[in-house]
Amino acid sequence: MGLSSGFLAVVLTRLAHAIPIFFAIISINFLLIHVAPGDPASYLASQSEGSVEYQAQLRQEFGLDKPLVVQLGIYLGKVVRGDLGMSYRYRQPVADLILSRVGNTFLLLGTGYLLATLIGILLGAFAAQRANSFADQLTTFAALAFYSMPVFWLGQLMLLFFALELGWFPTQGMVNIRLAATGWAKVIDVAHHLVLPASTYALYQLTLMYRLARSKLQDVLKEDYITTARAKGLPERVVVYKHALRNALLPLVTVLGMDFAFVLAGTVLVETVFAWPGMGRLMFDAIAARDYPVLTGIFTVVTAMVIIVNILTDLIYAWIDPRVVYD
Amino acid sequence: MTSVDAIAAESAAAAQPAGFAGFWAIFRRNPRGVIGLAVLTLFVLLAAAAPVIAPFGQKATGVGASFGAPDLVHLMGTDNLGRDVFSRFLGGCRISLLVGVAAAFASTVIGLLVGMTSGYFGGTIDNVLMRFTELFQTIPRFFLAMVAVALFGASIWNIVFAIAILSWPVTARLARAEYLSLRHREFADAARVIGVGTLGIMVIELLPNAAGPVIVNASLQVAQAILLEAGLSYLGLGDPGNASWGVMLYEAQPALRTAWWMSVFPGLGIFFVVLSLNLLGDAINDTLSPRSRAR
């Protein structure tokens, strides 16, 4: 499949839509800081600890004496250059802090997401084959139950049972500091720490995958080519997992994109339970320390990610299915 | 989760509302919906009766040992400050339900106003409002709520406001879809002919016909708001003066090793309320859909 001019047009249209939305959201964020009670400088310098000189420096740096529109311009200019301000607590640029954590977040998110997709599709196929049976109703109810739990509470339960009661997994962190492992030993150590947070996350995300896989497969199983495949005498296993699943996969690919913000919010909460050193944990610490530049910085980065993932999702859709046209 | 378009399509195709008796006749044959309604009613009663049935003061410290395990006096044990967890559970029920209902109500009102206007007038107004809605749908709402509550302070009304202002787009899109399909129906034109004003048609004639999917969505929004509030509180952005179940889970985190009961009970509360709301929402949706009307 080559990159046709139609595809290129889709790319350009989506970008043209996305960029103003990004700036609008960042402006809302900026306005919040300014409408909030108190002096923005004291917020940016962290209310409790910011020294008078530091606040004066910030006031000049952000042009807080200038009109609001000029200030917004300065702020957006900084965001475009990747300057998200300085963390008061860590005395480091916020962008560097986020970059050092984002990999850990994606390790957790990626593993959990992969697990959720695999299990969700298998369970969905299982249920779709015996729609409305007792087994189907049971799995559907279980999926709804997991969807109704606060994900961090599910994490606390997992931690209570598998880490504290049974002692199978570590309670927190990403590596055992006392072990100070390197090479393969380190990989195993990280994987061992990853099991509980990733499983918690997978259970949380599973419901969406399961529901979509189940309803999509139910529809596909009624199609003519499935009847043909069955008529040819192919085993039911081949019909479901090879012929039907392949056609039901497209919407699943795009679940991630549809609600990436929801996906990230779940990660923040899971990271907090297991003290996983990712972006979410950084955000939690920033709230406790009133480290406002970190909070707003993470918001900016998350917004950018959500918008980029939205665009990628649309593009993948348009690429897989050329019938999709965007106006 | 029920898709916006599916709810809209189903109810648009539905016949005129058959009144509450007709609704109930179908609803009561849905076991999951009835169970959801029963569980929810139980928790609403618990919340209402909390001051009467709570054995100890919600904020009273030292009414038992610190980290006391559940027993006959302290049904859910005691926390680090020796407060009775069961009494706090009942108080938390009040706060969590209050935040959920208030936020869902406010977001439904905002969503209805935007969606009704957009769908009824169409054209440029529709275009502008839908762009605005799209913008709000793109905002990572959990993260903006965190920033806003951190900046403005963690009072329950700030939390309610933050959740409401970030949750209305789904309602707006539902209401818009309804109004688009309803505005030129015969009964609307008939009302116009006899001289009913625009506002009268929008509210008196069309709103009852558009209410189904909005009500379904509202019950799901209460569930979402309770979960959102719990998430914010768990990150330390709860109102410590009005401890919700989420605030209790935040306080439980450092004590997981010593006092499992501090975490298990408030979480179960959230779980049962959210599950019953989800069951109820699905059941109302099924009841209103034309397929079950035909049965």
Residues comprising chain B, all counted? 295
Closest residue of A to B158, CA-based? Answer: A36
Closest residue of A to B136, CA-based? Answer: A25
Beta bridge partners of A87: A92
Amino acid letter at B212? G
Distance from CA of B181 to the nearest CA of A (A): 22
Residue of B4, B135, B139, B161 to mutate when probing chain A, most A C-beta within 10 A:
B139
Inter-residue contact B233 to B247 (CB < 8 Å): yes
pLDDT confidence of residue B295 = 41
pLDDT confidence of residue B13 = 46
Closest residue of B to A151, CA-based? Answer: B231
Judge whether B295 is closer than 8 Å to chain A, CB to CB.
no
pLDDT confidence of residue A43 = 60
| CA–CA dist A232, A15 (Å, integer) | 47
pLDDT confidence of residue B40 = 93
User: Is A272's CB within 8 Å of B234's CB?
Assistant: yes
Closest residue of B to A210, CA-based? Answer: B1
The mean per-residue pLDDT over the stretch B32-57 comes to 87
User: Is A306's CB within 8 Å of B252's CB?
Assistant: no
Judge whether B252 is closer than 8 Å to chain A, CB to CB.
yes
The mean per-residue pLDDT over the stretch A227-245 comes to 76
Q: Grade residue A24 by pLDDT with cuts at 50, 70 and 90.
A: confident
Judge whether B180 is closer than 8 Å to chain A, CB to CB.
no
Using CB atoms, pick whichever of B147, B257, B267 lies closest to residue A32.
B147
pLDDT confidence of residue A231 = 77
Is pLDDT at B292 greater than 60 in this prediction? no
Using CB atoms, pick whichever of B235, B256, B275 lies closest to residue A160.
B256
pLDDT confidence of residue B16 = 44
Q: What SS3 string covers chain B?
A: CCCHHHHHHHHHHCCCCCHHHHHHHHHCCCHHHHHHHHHHHHHHHHHHHHHHHCCCCCCCCCCCCCCCCCCCCCCCCECCCCCEHHHHHHHHHHHHHHHHHHHHHHHHHHHHHHHHHHHHHCHHHHHHHHHHHHHHHHCCHHHHHHHHHHHHCCCHHHHHHHHHHHHCHHHHHHHHHHHHHHCCCHHHHHHHHCCCCHHHHHHHHHHHHHHHHHHHHHHHHHHHHHHHHHHHHHHHHCCCCCCCHHHHHHHHHHHCCCCCHHHHHHHHHHHHHHHHHHHHHHHHHHHHCHHHHHC
Of A311-325, B44-58, B184-198, give the lowest mean pLDDT range. Answer: A311-325
Q: Grade residue B109 by pLDDT with cuts at 50, 70 and 90.
A: very high
User: Is A150's CB within 8 Å of B223's CB?
Assistant: no
User: Is A290's CB within 8 Å of B150's CB?
Assistant: yes
Of A109-123, A193-207, B157-171, B202-216, give the lowest mean pLDDT range. Answer: B202-216
**Is pLDDT larger for residue B259 or for residue A39?**
B259
Is pLDDT at A48 greater than 50 in this prediction? no
For residue B78, report the phi and psi dihedrals to the nearest 5 degrees.
Answer: -125, 160
Judge whether B253 is closer than 8 Å to chain A, CB to CB.
yes
Q: Give the number of other Cβ atoms within 10 Å of residue A167's Cβ.
A: 9
A vs B: CB pairs below 8 A: 129
Judge whether B225 is closer than 8 Å to chain A, CB to CB.
no
Q: Is the pTM value of this prediction over 0.95?
A: no
Of A206-215, B12-21, B210-219, give the lowest mean pLDDT range. Answer: B12-21
Of A250-259, B55-64, B134-143, B259-268, give the lowest mean pLDDT range. Answer: A250-259
Using CB atoms, pick whichever of B143, B151, B274 lies closest to residue A302.
B143
B144 contacts in chain A (CB < 8 Å): 28-29, 32, 299
| CA–CA dist A304, A146 (Å, integer) | 29
Is pLDDT at B103 greater than 90 in this prediction? yes
Q: Grade residue B69 by pLDDT with cuts at 50, 70 and 90.
A: confident
- pLDDT, one tens digit per residue, over B239-276 is 888 888 999 999 888 888 888 888 889 999 999 999 99
Sign of the four-CA dihedral B9, B13, B16, B19: negative
Using CB atoms, pick whichever of B135, B147, B230 lies closest to residue A29.
B147
Judge whether B203 is closer than 8 Å to chain A, CB to CB.
no
> Which two structure tokens, joined as six digits, stand for B101?
């209902």
The mean per-residue pLDDT over the stretch B107-129 comes to 90
Distances in Å between the Cα of A66 and the Cα atoms of A43, A45, A63, A78 are 18, 18, 5, 16
pLDDT confidence of residue B96 = 93
CA A302 to chain centre: 9
pLDDT confidence of residue A46 = 53
User: Is A150's CB within 8 Å of B249's CB?
Assistant: yes
B234 contacts in chain A (CB < 8 Å): 150, 152, 269, 272
Q: What is the mean pLDDT of chain A?
A: 79
User: Is A306's CB within 8 Å of B138's CB?
Assistant: yes
B262 contacts in chain A (CB < 8 Å): none
pLDDT confidence of residue B269 = 93
The mean per-residue pLDDT over the stretch B130-152 comes to 86
**A98 contacts: CB under 8 Å, gap ≥ 6:** A84, A279, A282, A297, A298, A301
- pLDDT, one tens digit per residue, over B182-231 is 887 888 888 888 878 778 778 777 788 778 888 888 888 999 999 999 99
Highest mean pLDDT of the ranges A38-42, A65-69, B86-90: B86-90
Closest residue of A to B223, CA-based? Answer: A148
Distance from CA of B186 to the nearest CA of A (A): 32
Closest residue of B to A153, CA-based? Answer: B267
